[in-house]
Every structure is written in structure tokens, then in C-alpha cells.
């Protein structure tokens, strides 16, 4: 889509400096941008890259000047760049129309404008909202409900009764509503605990490729509005994830834990069962949160077991010095006669 710099400035509530008639029809990094691509400069240290770019229009923060370019001045150029992408780069359709190989039960209800790709299966009782796109080989089980304008990429599986809000995006290979890992040990081995609850995904959630979200056992699992799950994330049964949470790849959240609004879970975080991560907390990469632990509001934690970042950094600093400290202790013990003197050329340890 092509717009003028003036139109883009109005869309982004940016201050326009320069030629408002300059055309913008794409986005790119400064080094690869053409004359009609939009670029952004987030900080003064990036000014040289932006100045050397062929792009004629740039998003910049206040106080940055780029000679010969039309500037759109905003408080957060990176955020404005992301918003501009939604205007300049229309989404590529996942499916168009109803493919003749799609298997759609007569009892399923599809609103106007729904598109279903090759070999997708939609079971009885499913309800698909207007404008949804269902990719090839997707499976939507009995009683599944999708709001408006959802996008399911190929091979997404929705078990029976899963509910998605409006504008939910689910990437390829994700499985929603599978049974939770619940067993009770008894005579003869393990007995499966009932996994008959629900799964609710609220508006504007995005779920990455090959991510799995289990249904509740007796209650429900819920993912709140605007939350973003990366690829290869696992959310177990009865987990409650609040709005605007960000969860990076290979994170696992065990059953009945609660992740509150605006929390951030970095890559490969492990959350044990019945934990609480309070609003705005940040859990650093590969951190482990033991069963029943609470991460308090607004704190940043790291390590296993997870602890406040400053404490972890202090402890890790001492950990890296352990070989040196061990040698010093050994020398002191020898001086006190507590250890034999090492042979010629031998190490202190």
C-alpha cells in the first residue's frame, strides 16, 4: 500500500518535517531501503546509518536531524515503525474461499467471509466468526468457537470446545485444548485424572508455531487479551495467563499457575505448579520457579531457583571466583599444617 508522508504522519500522530508528498510504500532496514521505503532511527547513535540510507522518509525521535530526508518525529520510533507496518504491509491471505477438499460438517456454522484451506476439517457444532481464515490441514473439533477475523495457519489443531476471541492468530502446528498431564498413582500404576475442562483464548492473542496449550482438568485454562506466546511454549492445565503477557520460546508453565498482567517470561523459563508471577514481573532466561513460589509485582528475577536479579548477579560473581578462592583456602590450610605440601610442580588443588 502506498501513502504519502503526510498521511502516514497523521496515522502515527507524528510531527512532519519536510516534504509531505513523499511516497512511502514499504519498510526496510536503513542499509537495504529503497527511496520509497520507511526507515526508523531509534537513538542518536543510529543517526549515521539512517543518514546514509537511500530512504527518503524516516521515523526519528525528537532532536534528531537527517539532512535531505522527510522526518516523522515521534517519541518511540520503533513502536511507530511497527504500527506503520500494519498500514503499509497488508497480511497475506492464509486461505481464499472454501477449498473443495475441506471437510465441513453440515452442523458447523460459518459466518460470511470465512475462508477454509485445503483438507481442513471442521466438526459438528463449530462456530466460525466473520472474516476468519483457516489454513490447510487445520482441525477444528466439535463445539469449537472462533470470534471475528482469526487467522489459523496450516496444521493448527483445536480440540473440542476450545474458544477463541476476536483477531486471534495461531501459527502452524500449534495444538490448543489437548489433555493436561494429570495422573493419580494407585494400585496397578497411574490413573488419569479427568481432563474435561475448557480453554479460552481472549482477543488479540498470538500463539507461536508448535506451541501447546492444555484444557483445564475440571476448570479452565485461560490466555488473556493481547498476550503473545512464542514458538514451542507449553501452557499446562488450569493455568491463568493475564492480559499483555509476553512468553518467549521453550518456556513451560505447569498446572494451576497464574501469570498476571504485563509479566514477561524470557526464553526457556520453567514455572512449576501452583506458582504466581505477579503483575509486571520479569523472569529472566532459563530461570526456574519452584512449586508454589510467588514472584512479586514488578520485580526481575533470574537463576534457579529464581531470585532477585541483583542477588543473583552477586552470587554468580562469587561462583565464578570459586576456583581462585579454593586455591587461596588450600594455601592457607597448608600454612596451618592442615594439608600436606603438594609435590614439586603439582597444582594447589
pLDDT tens column, 4-13: 999 999 999 9
Same domain, 291 and 344: no
Residue 44: what pLDDT?
81
12 membership: H or E segment, kind and range: helix 5-12
pLDDT at 208: 98
- pLDDT grade for 347, boundaries at 50, 70 and 90: low
The CATH number of whichever domain residue 285 belongs to comes to 2.160.10.10
93 assigned to some structural domain: no
Say whether both 214 and 138 belong to one domain: yes
**Higher-scoring residue by pLDDT: 258, 341:** 258
Plot region of 111 (φ>0 → left; ψ -120 to 50 → alpha; else → beta): beta
pLDDT band at 165 (very low <50, low <70, confident <90, very high): very high
Listed as own residue / partner, the contacts of 54-59 with beta carbons closer than 8 Å and 24 or more positions apart are 55/28, 55/30, 56/19, 56/22, 57/5, 57/8, 57/18, 57/22, 57/24, 59/12, 59/14, 59/84
What's the pLDDT at 139? Answer: 98
Residue 87, pLDDT > 80, answer yes
Residues 81 and 108 in one domain: no
Q: Is residue 307 pLDDT above 60, yes or no?
A: yes
Q: Does residue 224 lie in a domain region?
A: yes
Task: Look at residues 40, 65, 88 and tell me which one is the last residue of a structural domain.
Answer: 88
Catalytic site residues? Answer: 237
Residue pair 61/80 in contact (Cβ under 8 Å)? The answer is no
Q: How many helices (H) and strands (E) does the chain have?
A: 5, 40
Mean pLDDT for all residues in the chain: 94
> How far is residue 61's CA from residue 69's CA, in Å, rounded to a whole number?
14
pLDDT attached to residue 91: 86
Q: Does residue 4 sit in helix, strand or coil?
A: strand
Q: Both 281 and 245 in a single domain?
A: yes
Judgement on whether residues 82 and 112 belong to the same structural domain of the protein: no
**Computed from CA positions of residues 168, 171, 175, 180, in that sequence, does the dihedral angle turn out positive or negative?**
negative
Do 261 and 287 lie in a common domain? yes
Domain of 45, in residue numbers: 3-88
CA-nearest of 40, 105, 103 to 72 is 40
- Answer yes or no: do 141 and 289 share one domain: yes
Same domain, 230 and 180: yes
94, part of any domain: no
Q: Give the per-residue pLDDT at 160.
A: 97
Contact 133, 95 (CB under 8 A): yes
Q: What is the CATH number for 53?
A: 3.40.1390.10
Q: What percent of the chain is modeled with pLDDT above 90?
A: 83
Model confidence at 284, in pLDDT bands (50, 70, 90)?
very high
Quick one: average pLDDT of 150-156? 98
Average pLDDT value for residue range 248-273:
97
Q: How confident is the model at residue 157 (pLDDT cuts 50, 70, 90)?
A: very high
Give the burial string for 24-58 (b: 16+ CB within 10 Å, else e).
Answer: beebeebeebeebbbbbbbeeebeeebbebebbbb
The C-alpha atoms of residue 241 and residue 225 are separated, in whole angstroms, by 9
Q: Above 80 in pLDDT, residue 18?
A: yes
Distance CA 241, CA 202 (A): 10
In-domain check, residue 97: no
Residues 281 and 332 in one domain: no
φ and ψ at residue 37, rounded to 5 degrees:
-90, 150
The total of structural domains in the chain comes to 3
Which contiguous run of DSSP H or E holds residue 145? strand 145-146
pLDDT at res. 223: 98
Judge if 270 and 346 occupy the same domain.
no
Nearest-angstrom CA–CA distance, 58 and 50: 8
Residue pLDDT, tens place only, 114-140: 999 999 999 999 999 999 999 999 999
Looking at 88, 116, 150, which one is the last position of a domain? 88
pLDDT band at 343 (very low <50, low <70, confident <90, very high): low
Which pLDDT belongs to residue 345? 52
- Here the cell at position 17 is 518535517
Question: Are 264 and 195 in the same domain?
Answer: yes
Same domain assignment for residues 208 and 82: no
Confidence check: pLDDT of 228 > 70 = yes
Domain assignment of residue 98, yes or no: no
The arithmetic mean of pLDDT across residues 71-89, rounded, is: 94
Q: What is the mean pLDDT of residues 258-267?
A: 98
Amino acid at each position: 500500500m502506498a501513502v504519502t508522508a503526510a498521511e502516514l504522519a497523521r496515522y502515527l500522530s507524528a510531527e512532519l518535517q519536510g516534504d509531505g508528498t513523499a511516497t512511502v510504500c514499504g519498510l526496510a532496514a536503513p542499509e537495504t531501503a529503497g527511496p520509497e521505503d520507511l526507515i526508523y532511527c531509534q537513538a542518536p547513535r543510529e543517526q549515521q546509518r539512517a543518514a546514509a540510507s537511500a530512504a527518503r522518509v524516516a521515523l526519528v525521535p525528537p532532536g534528531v536531524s537527517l539532512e535531505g530526508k522527510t522526518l516523522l518525529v515521534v517519541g518511540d520510533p520503533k513502536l511507530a515503525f511497527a504500527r506503520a507496518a500494519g498500514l503499509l504491509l497488508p497480511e497475506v491471505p492464509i486461505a481464499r474461499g472454501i477449498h473443495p477438499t475441506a471437510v465441513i460438517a453440515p452442523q458447523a456454522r460459518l459466518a460470511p467471509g470465512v475462508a477454509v484451506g485445503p483438507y481442513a476439517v471442521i466438526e459438528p457444532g463449530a462456530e466460525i466468526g466473520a472474516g476468519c481464515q483457516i489454513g490447510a490441514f487445520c482441525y477444528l473439533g466439535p463445539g469449537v468457537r472462533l470470534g471475528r477475523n482469526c487467522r489459523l495457519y496450516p496444521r493448527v489443531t483445536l480440540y473440542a470446545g476450545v474458544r477463541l476471541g476476536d483477531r486471534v492468530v495461531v501459527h502452524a502446528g500449534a495444538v490448543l485444548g489437548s489433555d493436561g498431564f494429570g495422573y493419580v498413582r494407585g494400585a496397578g500404576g497411574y490413573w488419569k485424572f479427568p481432563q474435561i475442562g475448557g480453554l479460552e483464548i481472549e482477543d488479540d492473542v498470538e500463539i507461536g508455531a508448535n506451541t501447546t496449550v492444555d484444557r483445564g482438568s475440571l476448570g479452565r485454562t485461560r490466555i488473556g487479551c493481547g498476550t503473545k506466546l512464542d514458538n514451542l511454549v507449553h501452557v499446562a492445565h488450569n493455568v491463568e495467563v493475564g492480559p499483555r503477557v509476553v512468553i518467549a520460546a521453550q518456556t513451560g508453565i505447569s498446572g494451576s499457575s497464574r501469570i498476571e498482567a504485563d509479566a514477561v517470561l524470557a526464553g526457556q523459563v520453567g514455572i512449576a505448579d501452583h506458582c504466581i508471577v505477579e503483575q509486571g514481573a520479569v523472569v529472566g532466561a532459563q530461570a526456574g520457579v519452584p512449586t508454589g513460589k510467588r514472584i512479586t509485582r514488578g520485580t526481575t528475577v533470574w537463576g534457579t531457583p529464581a531470585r532477585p536479579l541483583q542477588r543473583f548477579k552477586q552470587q554468580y560473581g562469587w561462583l565464578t571466583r570459586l576456583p581462585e578462592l579454593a586455591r587461596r583456602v588450600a594455601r592457607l590450610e597448608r600454612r596451618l599444617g592442615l594439608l600436606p605440601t603438594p609435590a614439586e610442580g603439582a597444582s594447589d588443588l
